[in-house]
Amino acid sequence: MISPQPAHKEQTSMGTIMSHKAFGMYAEDCLDAVCREVARLESILSRYIPESDVSRINQNAGRNFVEVNPETFNILARSLELSAICDGNFDITIAPLVNLWNIGKNSFTQPPIREMKQVLELVNYRDLILDASSKKVGLSRPRQAIDLGGIGKGYTGDCILEIFRDFGVTSAYSNLGGNVVTLGAKPDGTPWNIGIQHPRLVDSLIGSLAVIDRSIVTSGSYQRFSNDSLGNQFHHIIDPATGYPVESGLVSVTIVSDNAMTADVLSTALFVMGVNRGMELLMSFPKTEAILMDSEEKVFVSKGLKGHFQPNEGIEYTILE
């Protein structure tokens, strides 16, 4: 008989507060292992840890290939595949632009256009070269750099699900700050109810999603941003085509999928692409659904979420067939 009380742990990692819950006999030990796994992944994937695989690739840009963990290699290989499928709207070589815009920092000023154009030249996922036989990785040009901020937490979510399963847990939930993964249903067999944050209203939801065995990942311009002295707001998702924070008309994109890494990439890519191009891209991913909100607070829900999405009071939405 599964205990009705879950084991619960919080940890701060990857720049966010994470919360893990699991039910079952070995739930406590399982969550200890989950926290260790998250810390391990941060140590290889963060570009703010100087010894990480990602930092070593960046430090050697335009100079040397570096040997990386096979796991890092596979994440990078999948990142490149998805970047191509997303037509370059998702691009992990975005790092020099993220640095230039200094998003999330206090003393924020818009970079000079000339400098921005020069830095934009450095962004191209095709310049990340992977050598499968040696598991070595290199960036073609000096000053290029990669940033896994748009995919790393998704991958981490998939690894957490593996650990839940390894410990025989059949009902669990993890919130990685905007990325939620669920294993199975709640112990009473009913679906998990996952709230979708309203991008404009504090402590308010667009609605909630009833899910079993799904990952729910949200990208939003409200999640990380800075204001300049004129009161302009700049958020953290950059359009690799223009070098500017994205203005696609969307303020929030939620992706629902059975793969958290793919959902993470798509949440970022659809945010860049906007409703029409984004929904077209989504069609090529089976069993993958979306909830979008635009700057006029119009909500669009893909048809596979019919019966799973419950809007908050006052929220009207259109089902996209």
Report the residue closest to Mg ion, judged by CB: 268
Strand partners, 207: 196, 311
- Please check whether residue 187 is in contact with residue 193, taking contact to mean a CB–CB distance below 8 angstroms: no
Only segment of 48-56, 90-98, 109-117, 254-262 that touches ligand AMP (CB under 6 A): 90-98
Task: Give burial (CB, 10 Å; 0-12/13-18/19+) of 200.
Answer: middle
Strand partners, 180: 175, 216
Contact flags string 127-156 toward ligand AMP, x per CB under 6 A: --------------------x-xx------
Largest separation between any pair of C-alpha atoms in the chain: 65
| 219 contributes a contact to ligand AMP by CB under 6 A | yes
Helix (H, G, I), strand (E, B) or coil at 302: strand
Interatomic CA distance for residues 109 and 124, integer angstroms: 25
Interatomic CA distance for residues 204 and 280, integer angstroms: 29
| 123 contributes a contact to ligand AMP by CB under 6 A | no
Interatomic CA distance for residues 304 and 290, integer angstroms: 9
Instruction: Choose, by CB under 5 A, the member of 97, 264, 282, 302 that binds Mg ion.
Output: 264
Phi-psi region of 235 (alpha: psi -120 to 50; beta: other; left: phi over 0): beta
Minimum gap (Å) between residue 224 Cβ and ligand AMP: 6
Which of Mg ion, ligand AMP, none has residue 91 at its interface (CB below 5 to 8 Å by kind)?
ligand AMP
Main-chain dihedrals φ then ψ at residue 197, nearest 5 degrees: -60, 135
Instruction: Choose, by CB under 6 A, the member of 38, 76, 94, 139 that binds ligand AMP.
Output: 94
Contact flags string 220-239 toward ligand AMP, x per CB under 6 A: ---xx-----------xxx-
Only segment of 87-95, 199-207, 225-233, 292-300 that touches ligand AMP (CB under 6 A): 87-95
Between residues 183 and 250, which has the closer beta carbon with respect to ligand AMP?
250
| 42 contributes a contact to ligand AMP by CB under 6 A | no
| 268 contributes a contact to Mg ion by CB under 5 A | yes
| 150 contributes a contact to Mg ion by CB under 5 A | yes
- Give the 3-state secondary structure percentages of the chain, helix then strand then coil, rounded to 5: 30, 25, 40
- Site residues (CB under 5 A) for Mg ion? 150, 264, 267-268
Residues that bind ligand AMP (CB under 6 A): 90-92, 94, 98, 147, 149-150, 219, 223-224, 236-238, 240, 264, 267-268, 271-272
